[in-house]
Amino acid sequence: MGHSVVGPCVSGDWERVVGSATCCLPDESDLTLRSRIPLTVIGGFLGAGKTTLLNYWLRESRGKRFAVLVNDFGAINIDAALIASADSDTIALTNGCVCCSIGDDLSQALIRVLDASPPFDGIVIEASGVSDPWRIAQIGLAEPGLSLDGVIVLLDAQALADNLANPLLRDSIERPLAHADLVVLNKVDLADDAALETARDWIRRNAPSVHCCETTNAEIALPLLSGAHLTSESNTAPPHDCHEHCEHPEHAHSSVAHDQQFATWSCAPSRVYSLVDVKAWLKAPPAGVLRLKGFVETQEYGWSEVQFSGRTGSVRRALASPANPRTAALVAIGLNGSLPVAALISYWT
């Protein structure tokens, strides 16, 4: 029987969630040791808010070092106060993150950040119109040093109906949804009720199994964006102390965190699984799991890294064995009240 923890986080925001999870995990958890670097790919049509999201992501890194690769380097507009140095294809931020131009060659840009020392905590790629985000996302499944952390597709709530009515654009809007792990319906504040309902209805029909969050200014709870924030040791940054309805722009993220309700669950699995079995579970995990990551033992691979995000799961050989097998951990996150704790316990412990 593995060590199992449930972290119901009724009070809501992410700092509390992580706090709750942390206190219950084994002290010297191996969750973050020897992990592959999580790779996230952002898709979405012009105007959906990709650049805004990437700016937010870089700004709100909470002590994690992210490398963000973008197509339209000229469009990135990072607050000058956050910039440590900049040249023609790289901007280094004071918080340790970097933003790099993909230029002509995604491979070379990605190799540069993969080879960085110390390694980044996460890599984010903005997919251009040239590339279906899924084509790029598979690098996260293939490259030994990466794990696929998810495909996030942004939609412009205000423009969606018009874009779908335009035969030139409809297929370009629809296609990326096929492999989305998370749909972000952005600019909901700018859309009228009818447009919003049209957008929600279209998403329900076209991506019925995918979690959709609605945002303004592309501000999303960090654990939904990135597995790098789904660790037992994250968030060394102090929780901000604004009041409930703070509208200070620097703290705009808080409105998201305040009204989102996440729950995490973690355990230290002690049994040895069959690969086929784990793959089957990852193909159709119980409803309510938004993300899951960690280490388990399989008969075929020995120590194995398990990863699930949205609708894509993978299990691959761990890069090394945990120093203390007892502390190898698995963590899952879902909306509070929707996380299928009983099913998680029954399979993973």
Strand partners, 67: 98, 123
Which of 114, 212, 246, 335 is in the footprint of another protein by CB under 8 A? 114
Is position 129 an interface residue for another protein (rule: CB under 8 A)? yes
Helix (H) / strand (E) element for 142: namely helix 139-142
Nearer to another protein, 132 or 349 (CB): 132
Write out the binding residues for another protein, residues 65-84 only, by CB under 8 A: 71-75
Does the footprint of another protein cover residue 283 (CB under 8 A)?
no
Q: Interface with another protein includes 282 (CB under 8 A)?
A: no
Q: Enter the tokens of residue 204.
A: 């329900």
Helix (H) or strand (E) holding 346: helix 341-348
Q: Is 105 in the site for another protein (CB under 8 A)?
A: yes
- Cβ of 275: how many Cβ atoms within 10 Å? 13
Inter-residue contact 285 to 308 (CB < 8 Å): yes
- Closest approach of Cβ 82 to another protein, in Å? 19
**Runs of H (alpha helix) within 43-126:** 50-59, 106-114
Q: Is 81 or 142 the residue whose CB approaches another protein more closely?
A: 142
List C-alpha distances in Å: 79 to 58, 161, 246. 10, 32, 21
Among positions 163-192, residues that touch another protein (CB under 8 A) are: 168-169, 171-172
Contact segment (CB under 8 A) with another protein among 96-104, 250-258, 319-327, 331-339 equals 96-104
The number of residues that bind another protein (CB under 8 A) is: 42
What residues form DSSP beta bridges with 122?
A: 66
Question: Of the ranges 97-105, 262-270, 282-290, 328-336, which one interacts with another protein (CB under 8 A)?
Answer: 97-105
Interface with another protein (CB under 8 A), residue from 18, 124, 137, 263: 137
Q: Tell me which residue of 37, 41, 45 sits closest to 57, measured CA to CA.
A: 41
* Minimum CB distance to another protein, residue 72 (Å): 6
Amino acid (1-letter code) at residue 197? E
Residue 117 is a binding residue for another protein (CB under 8 A): no
Largest distance between two CA atoms of the chain:
57
Q: Which residues contact 97 (CB under 8 A, 6 or more apart)?
A: 58, 61, 65, 66, 67, 68
State which of residues 4, 32, 128, 338 lies at the interface with another protein (CB under 8 A). Answer: 128
| Binding-site ranges for another protein (CB under 8 A) | 45-47, 71-75, 88-89, 101-108, 110-111, 114, 128-132, 135-139, 141-144, 168-169, 171-172, 314, 316-317
